[in-house]
Every structure is written in structure tokens, then in C-alpha cells.
Structure 1
Amino acid sequence: MSWPPLPAHVRSDGGTPLDEDEAAERVLARALRWIEANLEWFAPGRWEEFLPRRPFRPGPLLELLGLVRVLDRSGVVPKDAPLPSRALALAEDAASEADFERGLRRGDEFFPYHLNLVALLEVLGRPQPTLRAAGEALLAADTGGHTRPYKPVLTRTELRYFIDRGGFTAPAPLPDIGTLHRQSIAAQHPDVLQLTGSETYAFTHVLFYATDFGHHRHLLGGSEAVAELRETVRVLLGVHLARGSLDLLAELLLCDSALDDGRGSGPLVYEGWNALAGAGLPDGALPSPVHRPEVLAGLAGDKAAAYLFGTCYHTTLAAALAAAVRKRSPAAGARQPVGFPLPCADPEAIRLWALKASGASAAPASARVAWSAHLGPLLALSVQARDPDVLAEVVHAAERLGQGRRPLVRSAAALLAAWQPTHPTLQ
């Protein structure tokens, strides 16, 4: 059995719950204030004064420009406002360095990111004609073989998205985004009970590219395919909400907005936004999985600022991006707490949940709805922890809730039987 330790924010009291609109607005406002206050650290030279050099030096700037584009498109912050203008100036400076063009022309594994920075600068009104021409020539010459069918689907999907967004000419061997999506993890009916963290990141990023960060859904297939994706997203959202994995929680909230059909978000999405709203550090930053408060406590001055930035910027950007995309969601609107929260990813907390849910016959309808929404994440957590005793209790609770015939419950019960065929719950 393996239940990983939980970050401190999972067990802390997040304060009075907000409705979903208020929580998302708080996340966005605090994240943007923090990003603006720490903008200097996005410059590669400033980063490298205290932090290890990144393989793709302007990586944080590239993420920031992606946010700037969505903020502008969503009508939240126009691209000529102070924050985007300063971000674009930093990105222009990075692209003007000789090292950047040398990196572009190498055509190595970071070629797509060089191309993407050039594309985003142009999309946001800061064209780089020399670099663009170099990118076009390198694509035509198939530098690095990035478009070949033997390359991973995710990396080809990413490259195709960058090419299309930047208006580059796609090489003939590279399929369109719709075709690549159909070959990807997102369209291959992933086993939500057993997805790893890296597979979940791949899943979210495919959806980012296939929907252009929530701008459309026409490449995902019909309503049945979209509904399956939405269900997968919400189970995974619950898994990473329970674990306190704020990076993936933010990415999955973005995916949920991208797949929203206007019929409401459900209790896990409400809880997810409140978790992001309540997990921020005093200055508004959201910690990543590598952030360690005890390390930060031993630092001061610029060293502390650099550590805080390096371990928080990605999660904070992801949360701001999710909140900006949510503004375009057809079902965006105030949703209220249900009063039956998802337990954290702790075996005793889940056992207590199962005990309550197993007495569901006398519970109000709102509790049954909330508990039924929790089943998928709790089954997945128990399966991934390889904990047959907790899994058995969650399966039993599912049966008492009248959900025993759900495919996910039956899959979990089959795994339990394969692990321990003599387990008393299976007799």
C-alpha cells in the first residue's frame, strides 16, 4: 500500500466557502497581482542569477505569453495593458538574444518551443520576421524529424498546434490536430482508475491543444465522445483535488470549462475552485508540488524571492489561465456549496466517508448526489494506492448508493477480486 504524504494546504481550513464565481474571481485577481509583482523573474537572465539554467531558457516567458493571449481573447486584460506589454517586452528581449536564434536553428527537442515563442510574439502584435523566416525554412527542411509518425503523438500534437496558431506552413507528414487528437490518450478511452501523473498531464495538454484552450470543441467528436471526456476530467479532478496537486487541479479545471455544455459544473468543480482560492500563499502565489515551506523559511532577500518564484510560477499561471478560460464557459455562474466535501487522499478520511455514504438510505438527496460524484475519484485513489481494504469499503459504499452497476465501480471491483479473491467483501 502506498498513500503519498499530503501537502499542508490539503488539511488546512480554507475559510468560509465561496460560491464558484467568487472563488474563480479571487483566484484570477490574486494570481494576476502576483504575476505582475514578480514579472522581472520571467526574464531568463534574472532567473539564472539564483536558479539553475533551464534547457529552454525562456520557458516561463512562453507560458506567460500563452496566458496573455487567453486574457486578451477572453476580454479580461487587453494585450496593450501594462502587464501584457511588459511581458511582451521581456519576450522580445529574450528572442533578440543570439543564443535564441542559435537554439532555434539547432532544431533539437526544443525547436517547437522556439517556434512557439516566435508565433506568440507575432499573434500578440510583436512580429519577428527574421526568426519567422528561419522557422519556416527549418520546418520545410524537416529539421529534427519532429513531424515523423514515429514521434510521440503528444509532441506532434503540440507542434501542430504551435504551427497552426502561428500561421506557419505545416509539413506534409504532420497530420491535422483532429487526426492527432483521435490517436492521442484523450481519445483512446483512458483507464481513469490507473492513469499516472505524467499520463494525466498528457491528457490535459491534448485537450488544451484540441480545443485551443477552450475556444472550440468541434475536433473532439460527437456529444457522446465529449461526455466521456467530461466524465474522465471530473474523476481526475477529484483525484488531484484530494491529493492537493494544485498544478493538475488547475489544468483539469481548465479542461472542464473547455468541455462545459452549459448544464452545470457539479460539486467537484465547485470544490476545486474553492481549493485554489484557499491554497494561496499570503502574497497570492500558488505552490507547485516541488515547493517546500521549510526551504523557503531558511532563505531571505532575492534568494527567497527566486525560490518562491521558481516553485510557484507555473501553478499560479495555470490557475490564472483556468480562471480566464472559465469566463468563456457557457455555464459560468454562481454555484453554491453542497456541504458534503470530498475527503482528502488519506485512508482514514476515505474510510470515514465510506461509513457515512453507506448509510445513504437516510441521507438527504443532496448528500447522495455529492457522494455519488465522489465515487470515481475515491475508487481511483484506492486503486492507485493498492489498498484493497479501503477499495473494498468504497465499492461497498457505491453499492449502498445504488451505483454498483456503474462501469467504473465494476472495474474497481474486478481489480479488487484479482488482487484478493478471498477478500470478505467479495464473498
Structure 2
Amino acid sequence: MNGAADEAHWPALPAHAGCLGEVLLGEEEAARRVLAGALEWIEAQLDWFAPGRWEEFLPRRPFRPGPLLELLGLVRVLDRSGVVPATAPLPSWALDLAEEIVHESEFGRGLRRGDAFFPYHLNLTALLELLGRPQPALRASCQALLTADAGGHCRPYKPVLSRIELRYFVDRGGFTAPGRLPGLGPLYRQSIAARGADVLQLTGDETYALTHVLLYATDFGHHTRLPCRGESVARVRETVRVLLGVHLARGSLDLLAELLLCEAALDGGQGHTPDSRPGPVPGPDPCPVPVPGPVPVPVPVPRIVPGQWRRACWSALAAAQRPDGAVPGPVHRPEILTGLTGDKAAAYLFGTCYHTTLASALAAAARKPAEAPGPVGPSESIGFPLPRAHPEEIRHWARGAAEAARTVPPAARAELAACLGPLLALTVQAHDPAVLTDVLRVAAHLGHGDDPLVRSAAALLAAWRSVP
């Protein structure tokens, strides 16, 4: 067991994680702040979306107009949602730049290669048309290459996420799909979203894959229909809910924004039943977790209401947003930025923040207004709803939760139980048997020892203990 304890690893929390949850804003207010600040920052940084400007200070990207392509995706959602019409200055500038790029000889050469970036050439061409700037010659070339299966992108041996992405671009752009490229429904049913992702052990890349599948399947929240049965919808919604807690605790704003968009896209989706739970987890019975005696000194327990998950996540994004409106990305380091000046500082800020800022703006623009505002006002401090992804903070939470579980009413017990999934995932992924044991004790106190996710985590703990 000492060997397992020595292997525990908790990644360092980002600088902005210290302010997460200090003030819980109303969801509407937080989302409004995030969107307004993000759009202001994006408009101030428009020149950096030009590939030539990017390459003055930042490494050349394999698909040079990648950031611009992301911006056009946001422009489409802004226009569709009525937030910013495509004729407004920001979208017009982005479309002007996109037209310049697709008319460059380099874009045509890249398109003809039909390589890994063919779907992005096709998508950029299609978005220009969808936003009122059609390119008939380029469209015809894209269709011819697609029909000929240039690059073999439609073949069944290609990764399912890549084929889902291509199929989404093809359908959204109104292209004729080749016969060997399945529809979104069959592809979705082969994907991570439909195949029972293990939320306890999802890597960052797998979580991104899950979010992208859901966003393509719902056209970035435009509809809530998934091509699967109701119980599968309930399962993936619960997976997204747990992952929201995981990345809220980690301060992973990039994934938090994408998961918020997924959560909104799945809200009210077919087949959802609020109390649905996944089926039993296969494997050996877990070792029972001993229930401790009374805790001598009660520790305050942070409050979490399941219906406030979105509010807590939006508050986290608003709290971490820089005064200029940028939302820090996973590779952004404030200490590096402080050592830079002039264009070097501007380039670093753009390169490390643009994607997370775009994702946050996208989530805010696509979200549906809350049916009824909650009771918490915009400046009322209620404390952090989850402990941060730090072993001592989680153990502190566990001591307080174990004590509170003895006396609090059922509704409050449910609030504590809502934290179990994210905390189990965090401790499993940190490979920390001591902290995992504490969280499992809380689950037993709360009467959730037989929940599938709890049993799965306990089985992993027992397996760790079996290793000499």
C-alpha cells in the first residue's frame, strides 16, 4: 500500500483556481459577463486571427487558418442565436479575412492534397457560404474531392471521431456525402458518447472527444436529439454532470466551457429521466469501506445544490476571466506573460487564451435562458461548492461531510451526494488511495455505498491494495 501511496499525483492547480467559487453569481449574470467580455476581447484581437500575423511570433500551425475557422464557427452561432448578426463589424471582418485566405494559392494546394486537413478546408468553404459569402468554384472542388474520397477520410478504419467530424461538416454544408461515409446516427453509436465512457478514468483527450461528439451530434446545441435510446441519453447526461464537477474543481476552463455547451445541448433531450442511473458495474465485489466513529470537531461543509451546477460553473468562468475579457487557456501562465512586453506579450496572450475565450463565448451564446432564476443574488457569497482538486481540501471536505451526514435532512444529504462522482473521479485519476478511502467513507455514510460509480471506485481501490 505504501507503493500505491507514493504514486499519488495531483496536478498543480492553475493560478485562477484560487478564486473559483468565492462568489456565486446568478447564472444569467455570469454568462452575460463572460459573453460580453469575450466578444470585446476577440474584437480587439482580430488581427491575430490572420495566419501571417500569428506566424510573426507564434509557431506556424499545420492548418494555418485554424483560429479563424474557430471564429467563424462562433460567428455562425452568434448569428443563429440573434446575439450578433453576420453583417455586424466583427463577423464582417472575419468573413473578409476568410475570403482572402481561400483565394490564396496555398489554400488551393492544401485542398488538393486531401490530407488530414481536408475536412477543415471543406468546412471553411462551407461556413463562408452559410454566412453569405459563397465560393462556387471551391465548393465544386470540395464536392469532387469528397466524392473521390481524397485522403480516404470516409474509410471505416479511420477514427470514428474524425468521420463524425467530417460527416457533420458535410451535412451542415449541404454537400452530397459519399456512400461509404455513414450518417451521424450510426457513427454516433460507435463513439465514446454511446459506448459507456468510464467517467472515473477519462483522460483529457477522451473528454475532449466526448464533448466534440456531443456538439456535432446536436449541432452545437441547436437541437437536443441524440441518435440513441432514452437510457443512453440519461447516461451521457450524468457523465457530463460529473465531468463538470471534475473540471470545475480543477479549474480547467477550456473543458468547463465545452462541457457547459454540451450540458445545455442535452438539457431536455429525449429519454431523460432525472433519477436514471447507469447499470451495475461489472467486476468483483469491492472491499467494504469501514465507517469511522464520530468526528470530534465538526468541519463546515461547502454547499452544493445539483440544480446550481451550471451557476457554479458559469461563476467560475466569470471569476477567472481577465479584466480585458480573455479567458485563460490550459497552457496560459501569468508569470510568463508578466515577463513579456509589446507584441510578444500580445502574441503570448492570444496564443494561450483565444481557444478558451472562443469556447466560453460559444457556450454563452448557445445557452438557453434559465426557466426561473435561483434565489442566490449576484453578490451573495456562499463558499466554494466543491473542494478544489487538492488532496488536503478534499480530505477536509470529507471530514465535514461525514459528520454532517449523521444529522442533516435528506435534501442536504442529496446535496452532499452530488459531490461524490466528481471527487471519486479526481481521486481515482490522482491514484491516491488515502483520499479515495475518505471519499468512499462519505459515500457509505450517505447511504450510497452500492451506487455503481462508488462500487467501481471501491473495486479499483481493492485492486490497488492487492499489488505487493
TM-score by length of structure 1 reads 0.95
Distance 1:242 1:218 in 2: 29
- 1:334 aligned partner: 373
- 1:353 aligned partner: 397
Distance 2:21 2:44 in 1: 24
Q: Larger relative contact order (C-alpha < 8 A, sep ≥ 6)?
A: 2
Q: 1:38 to 1:184 in 2, by over 3 A?
A: same
> Which stretch has the larger CA shift, 378-387 or 222-231?
222-231
Distance 1:401 1:422 in 2: 29
SS in 2 for 1:187: coil
Give yes or no for the alignment of 1:305 onto 2:312: no
Give yes or no for the alignment of 1:91 onto 2:130: no
- 1:40 aligned partner: 47
* Deviations 1:183-218, CA, capped at 9 Å, x for gaps: 000000111000000000000000010111111232
Q: 1:128 to 1:265 in 2, by over 3 A?
A: farther
Give yes or no for the alignment of 1:363 onto 2:390: no
Higher-Rg structure is: 2
Distance 1:399 1:15 in 2: 29
RMSD between superposed Cα atoms in Å: 1.8
SS in 1 for 2:418: helix
Contact 2:224 2:268 in 1 (8 A): no
Distance 1:265 1:400 in 2: 19
Structure 1 position 401, deviation (Å): 1.4
* Deviations 1:271-326, CA, capped at 9 Å, x for gaps: 11110010011211011111111111111111111110010000000000011111
> Which stretch has the larger CA shift, 14-23 or 160-169?
14-23
SS in 1 for 2:254: helix
- 1:103 aligned partner: 110
Distance 2:413 2:27 in 1: 21
Distance 1:203 1:6 in 2: 23
Q: 1:100 to 1:348 in 2, by over 3 A?
A: same
Structure 1 position 267, deviation (Å): 2.8
Q: Output aligned runs, 1:1-400, within 5 Å.
A: 1-12=8-19, 16-261=23-268, 266-327=307-368, 331=370, 333-336=372-375, 341-359=385-403, 360-363=405-408, 367-400=412-445
* Deviations 1:343-377, CA, capped at 9 Å, x for gaps: 10000000011111112122355543332111101
> Which stretch has the larger CA shift, 413-422 or 272-281?
413-422
Richer in helix (by share): 1
Contact 1:14 1:279 in 2 (8 A): no
Structure 1 position 222, deviation (Å): 3.1
1:405 counterpart (445, 450, 456): 450
* Deviations 1:243-267, CA, capped at 9 Å, x for gaps: 1111001000000000112989723
- Count of residues in Structure 1 that have an aligned counterpart in Structure 2: 421
SS in 2 for 1:286: coil
Distance 1:288 1:13 in 2: 15
Distance 1:335 1:274 in 2: 13
Structure 1 position 405, deviation (Å): 1.6
Structure 1 position 94, deviation (Å): 1.4
Q: 1:265 to 1:87 in 2, by over 3 A?
A: farther
SS in 2 for 1:404: coil
SS in 2 for 1:186: coil
Distance 2:420 2:19 in 1: 23
SS in 1 for 2:156: coil
Distance 2:95 2:306 in 1: 34
Contact 2:21 2:384 in 1 (8 A): no
Contact 1:234 1:269 in 2 (8 A): no
Q: Residue type matched to 1:401 in 2? A: L
Distance 1:284 1:367 in 2: 36
Contact 2:9 2:432 in 1 (8 A): yes
Contact 1:10 1:243 in 2 (8 A): yes
Distance 1:62 1:257 in 2: 23
Contact 1:21 1:332 in 2 (8 A): no
SS in 2 for 1:217: coil
Structure 1 position 14, deviation (Å): 5.8
Distance 2:223 2:229 in 1: 13
Distance 2:100 2:44 in 1: 19
Contact 2:23 2:383 in 1 (8 A): no
Structure 2 residues without counterparts, runs of 5 or longer: 1-7, 275-304, 377-381
- 2:293 aligned partner: none
* Deviations 1:160-182, CA, capped at 9 Å, x for gaps: 00000001110110000011000
TM-score by length of structure 2 reads 0.87
Structure 1 residues without counterparts, runs of 5 or longer: none
Distance 1:401 1:270 in 2: 25
Q: 1:363 to 1:124 in 2, by over 3 A?
A: same
Report runs of 4+ in structure 1 exceeding 6 Å deviation. Answer: 262-265
Identity level (%): 70
